[in-house]
Each structure stands twice: as C-alpha cells, then as structure tokens.
C-alpha cells in the first residue's frame, strides 16, 4: 500500500506511486518515470538499491558519476508518525524524536543542496565549454574566409597585371608599324 508524501520532497514510499509527476519506486531498485506532458512514463533503471546515479563528466569513470540518495522523509520514515503529545510524561521523548527528525531532514537537505551545487557547476561548465567551442569554430571559419579573400585578391591582381602586360606587348609591334608607314 502506497503512502502519499509531499510532492516537492518525495521520492520514496513503501511501494507505489509517489507523486503526480510519475516518479515511483518498486523496491527492486529505484526507478524514475518522468512524464512529458500527456506522454506515457518512461522508466529509467538506476544502479544500487536506493540511489539514482547521474553521469556528470565526459568519461565513464567513477569520479564523473554522482549517486543521489534520498532517505524516506515521510512521517513514518522520520519516526514521528506515532507521536503522543497528550501525556506530559512522554512529551520529552516526543520532542527528542521531533529534533531527530529535523536533524535528519537538515542532513538530507544539505546533501541535496551540495548535489545541486555540483550539478549547477557542471551545467555552467558545459555552457561555457559550448560557448567556447562555438566561438572557436566561428574564428576558424572567419580565418578561412579571410585567407580565401586574400588569395582571391592576390589572384585578381595577378590576372589584371598579366592582362596589362599582354596589352602593352601587343601595342609595341603596332607602334613600330605606325612609324614605318
């Protein structure tokens, strides 16, 4: 039986659908199914029994992979589903359990925040690399165009000089004939 948890933080239930976006866990390894509009979900197998491994580098090395682990953040997973605050004698225990739950949520938020920073850094690095590659390609193409224009201009000057010399060479015999007449 699936237990409903917060759609913003949930990626884990006992078994079944997690949220309206189509994420679910089948207890044989985390699977994530993401819906694109009205399209059917596409399952994505992950490695390990509780994590989602993301490729964040350009090679298949372990240091270029990050595994996301999200603990059970439901009230049951945090151990606060059966708190009893009606008895003053055990209210201290309830407060301790709430503090432990807050600490667990804080630890998970910190871990996910660090992962978010790593992914943002990777994304920014990829954007910079893409921009640099585009600029380099543009410079290469511009350089080739400039070289071709120089070669065209040089060849054009050589053709005009050859035509001018040919015209002058043809005029000399005619000038000699004019003098003889």
Residues of the chain with pLDDT below 50 are: 1-48
Residue 149: count of CB within 10 angstroms of its CB: 10
Is 179 domain-assigned? no
Of 46, 70, 94, the position where a domain reaches its end is 70
Is residue 95 included in any domain, yes or no?
yes
Q: How many domains in the chain?
A: 2
Distance CA 90, CA 83 (A): 9
pLDDT of residue 49: 57
Q: Does 165 map to a domain?
A: no
Torsion of CA 82, 85, 91, 96, to 10 degrees: 40
Per the domain annotation, does 166 fall within a domain? no
Query: In terms of domains, do 82 and 64 share one?
Result: no
Residue 6 three-state SS = coil
pLDDT score of 12: 41
Domain containing residue 64: 1-70
3-state secondary structure of 7: coil
């Amino acid at each position: 039986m699936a237990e409903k948890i917060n759609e913003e933080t949930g990626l884990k239930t006992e078994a079944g659908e997690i949220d309206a976006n189509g994420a679910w866990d089948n207890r044989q390894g985390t699977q994530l199914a993401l819906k694109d509009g009205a399209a059917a979900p596409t399952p994505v197998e992950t490695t390990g029994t509780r994590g989602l491994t993301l490729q964040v580098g350009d090679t298949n090395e372990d240091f270029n992979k990050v595994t996301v682990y999200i603990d059970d953040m439901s009230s049951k997973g945090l151990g606060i589903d059966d708190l009893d605050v009606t008895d003053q004698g055990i209210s201290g225990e309830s407060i301790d359990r709430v503090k432990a739950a807050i600490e667990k949520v804080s630890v998970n938020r910190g871990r996910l925040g660090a992962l978010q920073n790593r992914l943002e850094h990777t994304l920014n690095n990829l954007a910079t690399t893409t921009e640099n590659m585009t600029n380099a390609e543009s410079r290469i193409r511009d350089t080739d165009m400039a070289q071709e224009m120089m070669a065209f201009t040089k060849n054009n000057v050589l053709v005009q000089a050859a035509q001018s010399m040919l015209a002058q060479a043809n005029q000399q015999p005619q000038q000699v004939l004019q003098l003889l007449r």
